[in-house]
Amino acid sequence: MARKMKAVQVKQAKGPLEVVERDVPEPGPGQVLIAVDACGVCHSDAITKEGWMPVQYPRVPGHEVVGRIDKAGPGVTAWKAGQHVGVGWHGGHCGQCPACRVGDFVTCDFQQICGISYDGGYAEYMLAPQEALARVPDGMKSEDAAPLLCAGVTTFNSLRNMGAKPGSLVAVQGIGGLGHLAIQFARKLGYRTVAISRGADKRKLAEELGAHEYIDTEKGDVGKALQALGGARVIMMTASSSSLAAAMIGGLGRDGVLLLLGAGTEPIPVTSLQLIMKRQRIQGWPSGIPQDSQDTLDFSVLTGVRSQNEVFPLARAGEAFERMMGNHARFRVVLKMR
């Protein structure tokens, strides 16, 4: 008889997160079954909940998944039962398309997304393709590792690829799940780190996370404030406000990059003239592949970067999600299954 598990699913776009009982699935060829310990709640889980991308329902969200391999399916050679592993947003790739042929798995034409293409980590068990797994460093707790698999890798991996050097001025806008890790990474990577938030509430928290400077967007022009610090080499935006993005462009310095991580559909008003003279650009960045996740986990152990979590049981996933969406979480909400 099949084992039973609890999962939290969305039955249809815009529907509630509901707790259901399901059979524990069997891993197919190339898959592993993970007994999930913890799963972070990311703002991007709203894509599954609200149906902002094509999703086949019912669907279990969650792409910051950490647990132990319960069983490896046929043909799995790289992993075995008992290993401590994680899966992030990048939930698998085809290995055949033009991007994969040159090893650029993150832009795979047939990329699978954990919690969107297949059921994710808001559950006691989850199936994943073997190429989607990262190894969790020895001694790291599952709830500490989980947020590093999306919020962590997205900020660390994008920052380390922007061309900033130690001492460069790097600003992080929005101090939420992504932002609070980004501030820590920026500081540990040796950048002069600026935290940008709305209001004065988060100043002390930002400084504790390692920010050298703090800018309150409700107190004057953020672009001018950044120029007063010398102009930013990188401004990472974790919110998707296009009006704020437009204001941020004024804060870029020479070769400055406006790095867009917060996903939105509103156009950003900008002219080529604004960008040409100081060779500036606007760039997006999608998370990373499992090796990037592993690098993020290892760098976090090495430097003491740690997600600050509010832990909820799986049965309270709906409440946990609303807490994150309402910007009340300090800073990442994590579901704990066992």
| Nearest alpha-carbon partner for 41 in 291, 237, 319 | 319
Q: Among 31, 44, 158, 173, which residue interacts with Zn ion (rule: CB under 5 A)?
A: 44
Q: Among 19, 247, 263, 270, which residue interacts with ligand NAP (rule: CB under 6 A)?
A: 263
Show the binding pattern over residues 119-158: x = contacts Zn ion (CB under 5 A), - = does not.
Answer: -------------------------------x--------
Q: Among 34, 69, 150, 164, which residue interacts with ligand NAP (rule: CB under 6 A)?
A: 150
Characterise 196 by phi-psi region: left (phi > 0), alpha (psi -120 to 50), beta (else): beta
List the strands of the sheet with 281-284, edge to edge: 213-216, 192-197, 169-173, 232-237, 252-260, 281-284
The C-alpha atoms of residue 64 and residue 5 are separated, in whole angstroms, by 19
| Contact indicator for 128, 34 with CB cutoff of 8 Å | yes
Q: If contact means CB under 5 to 8 A according to the sort of partner, which of Zn ion, ligand NAP, none does residue 157 touch?
A: none
The C-alpha atoms of residue 252 and residue 233 are separated, in whole angstroms, by 6
- The secondary structure element, H or E, covering residue 98 is helix 98-101
Question: Between 154 and 309, whose beta carbon lies closer to ligand NAP?
Answer: 154
Closest contact distance (angstroms) between CB of 237 and ligand NAP is: 8
Closest contact distance (angstroms) between CB of 241 and Zn ion is: 18
Q: Among 36, 42, 236, 333, which residue interacts with Zn ion (rule: CB under 5 A)?
A: 42
134-135 and 213-216 strand pairing: unpaired
If you ran DSSP here, which 8-state letter would residue 323 be given? Answer: H
Question: Between 124 and 292, whose beta carbon lies closer to ligand NAP?
Answer: 292
Show the binding pattern over residues 44-73: x = contacts ligand NAP (CB under 6 A), - = does not.
Answer: x-----------------------------
Among the residue ranges 51-59, 259-267, 291-299, 309-317, the one whose residues contact ligand NAP (CB under 6 A): 259-267
Among the residue ranges 96-104, 124-132, 133-141, 239-247, the one whose residues contact ligand NAP (CB under 6 A): 239-247
Closest contact distance (angstroms) between CB of 153 and Zn ion is: 9
| Contact indicator for 149, 182 with CB cutoff of 8 Å | no
Q: If contact means CB under 5 to 8 A according to the sort of partner, which of Zn ion, ligand NAP, none does residue 193 touch?
A: none
DSSP secondary structure letters along 145-203: HGGGGTHHHHHHHHHTTS---TT-EEEEE--SHHHHHHHHHHHHTT-EEEEEESSSTTH
User: In the window 98-137, what residues touch ligand NAP (CB under 6 A)?
Assistant: none
Question: Between 177 and 256, whose beta carbon lies closer to Zn ion?
Answer: 177
Helix, strand, coil shares of the chain, percent, nearest 5, are 30, 30, 45
- Which phi and psi (to 5°) does residue 117 adopt? -75, -30
198 binds ligand NAP (CB under 6 A): yes
Residues that bind ligand NAP (CB under 6 A): 42-44, 150-151, 154, 174-179, 197-198, 202, 238-241, 244, 261-263, 285-287, 324, 327
What does the binding site for Zn ion look like in residue numbers (CB under 5 A)? 42, 44, 150
